[in-house]
Amino acid sequence: MRLKWLFFVFSLSVLIYGGVVAQPPSYQAAMEQLNSRGELYFVFRQPSWNTLEKLAGSVSIDNISNGWVTGWANRKGFTQFLEYNIPYQVVPLKSFQKDDGTTKSFTSLDSIDQWNFYPSYNDYIAIMNAFQSAFPGLCRLYEIGLSINGKKILAVKISDHVGADEPEPTCFLTSSMHGDELTGYVMMLNLIDTLLNGYGKNPLITALINNTAIFINPLANPDGAYYVSDLSVAGAIRGNNNHIDLNRNFPDPADGDHPDGNNWQPENIAMMTFLQQNNFLLSANFHGGAEVVNYPWDTWPRLHPDDDWFYFISRCYADTVHFYAGGSYLTNLDNGITNGYQWYRITGGRQDYVTFFLHGREVTIELSTNKIPSALSLPQYFNFNFHSLLNFIDQCRYGIYGLVSDSISGTPLRAKIFISNHDADSSFIYSNDSGWYYRMIKAGTYNLSFTSSGYQSKTITGINVADFNRIRYDVLLVRDVVPLQQDTVPVLSAGPVPFGSYLMFTIKALEDMTAEVSIYSSNGKKALGACWQVSPGVSNYHLNTADLPPGMYICRVISDNRVLMIKAAKVSD
């Protein structure tokens, strides 16, 4: 979570005069909050950056503003914080939890005329199942995993052929990994409902569902949201049931696998597995406590190579919100957007994990200053963000895309796509298992290099990209020439190279076997072929190539489950 507290919010708790905290730290109040909730929010004067770095493993920094730091800690972290003898003041829960968690019973999707309530846990499960039951052709329910207490972490996939693995870009929206930040929880339920009911009616919704695979996880930390009772979110906490901040518990590009000093939590292990399995192109992680779009990096002061693109899509999101909500909402920091590190540094966040380790593109969107706003205000937050959400999903369709495949067989290839003089810090991407790649990027001219193990690399230069447009480049990669090895390859020799009216193959066999030879032209079309039954011993086989016109050819020999590729020129006799 990124929680932007201006210090006047705490005016009832902290008295500032001449830069001095007038009342002593409330240790008793801190212990009461830790004993009842297992975690604590507090505010303290900003120490040196060196001290903040040391505190990072104990305290989750929520915000630094006007010389004050707002932090969160569990019991262990707070004990470590006390060793620094830094004056602090406890933040009262009522300052950021505005709803008492009142729910209304769920009977059917048709009975929901407004998403102006926080569902109970069991009703949440029923609602997610109801989406799949009501729209089986568009919606599929996934169980990402289980929380510590055995609660389900669910996601839906929305697509026009939801049961198929189509070659289309994928977008993932996920909310409330901090259990007490619940604006996005209900907003995602509302979005699922709106997408499914809008298909075939709303042109943009229809286009998105027809051309993208949209995954939505409304609640990533159910134990935190339903900490006190499954019946209500009243008393929700930030951490999971182990009181671990899940957004400090991911592998970090700068600080390693366990930047918070804790084992990966079950919720995060399940989420990492789901993320790795689905290769999401674009994702957003929804939080609360501020109103701003945050983009990478969080852990490094240097900018992401696609910083101009991240700024562009973040600016688009915030500006669209401003159009529909007016000028007072989502205006924190740079009028509603910020680079993460320039706000304050965190390590172990999901945003940097996805962007660095998975080569994805993720932003963090803080939806409301109040982490649990009044349920009656939830439809308003949805209306403010709805068009921005659709446009955000639409961004994954823009940029450079295409299919990478074997130049002879047409087999799809997983290839690395690297932009020269641009990519760094793991910003390159890979084509997926179906050979398709999608490279979102800011308008400009780029050179793309394609590499795949066992193939010759290929570079396409001068690709011009415009904003809100996409351009297709399919790429055929040629196999590397495999050197002949007498002790391992049944084909001992093939020649002459260059060749004329014939090619001769010397094949050694230890037992009866089949050798298949195919000749392909430079455009990948098969020009000639033969199949021989080979007896044990060394044998010579001739292939008549007299009718082949001069040019470059690729010869492929398959024998004894081995493949030999030879690139050679045909010359005039």
Q: What angle do CA 434, 435, 438 make, to 5 degrees?
A: 110
> What whole-number distance in Å separates Cα of residue 153 and Cα of residue 185?
12
| Cα-based distances in Å from 78 to 24, 31, 250, 263, 373 | 17, 10, 21, 19, 27
Kindly provide the residue ranges of all beta strands, DSSP E only, lying in 218-301, ordered along the sequence. 282-287, 292-295
Tokens of 299: 């852990």
Task: Provide CB contacts within 8 A for 202, sequence distance 6+.
Answer: none
SS3 369: coil
**Cβ count within 10 A of residue 536:** 11
SS3 385: helix
Task: Provide CB contacts within 8 A for 436, sequence distance 6+.
Answer: 167, 401, 402, 403, 404, 412
Tokens of 537: 């011993």
Task: Provide CB contacts within 8 A for 121, sequence distance 6+.
Answer: 151, 222, 225, 226, 230, 231
Active-site residue (options: 168, 267, 362, 366): 366
> What whole-number distance in Å separates Cα of residue 25 and Cα of residue 79?
14
Is 366 an active-site residue? Answer: yes
Amino acid at 393: I
Tokens 């979005």 found at: 191
DSSP character at residue 252: B
- What is the three-state SS of 7-56? HHHHCCCCCEECCEECCCCCHHHHHHHHHHHCEEEEEEECCCHHHHHHHC
| Cα-based distances in Å from 490 to 167, 303, 566 | 38, 53, 15
Task: Provide CB contacts within 8 A for 18, sequence distance 6+.
Answer: none
SS3 of the chain: helix, strand, coil, percent, to 5: 25, 30, 40
Task: Provide CB contacts within 8 A for 47, sequence distance 6+.
Answer: 55, 69, 84, 86
Dihedrals phi, psi of 562, to nearest 5 degrees: -115, 150
Residues known to be catalytic:
366
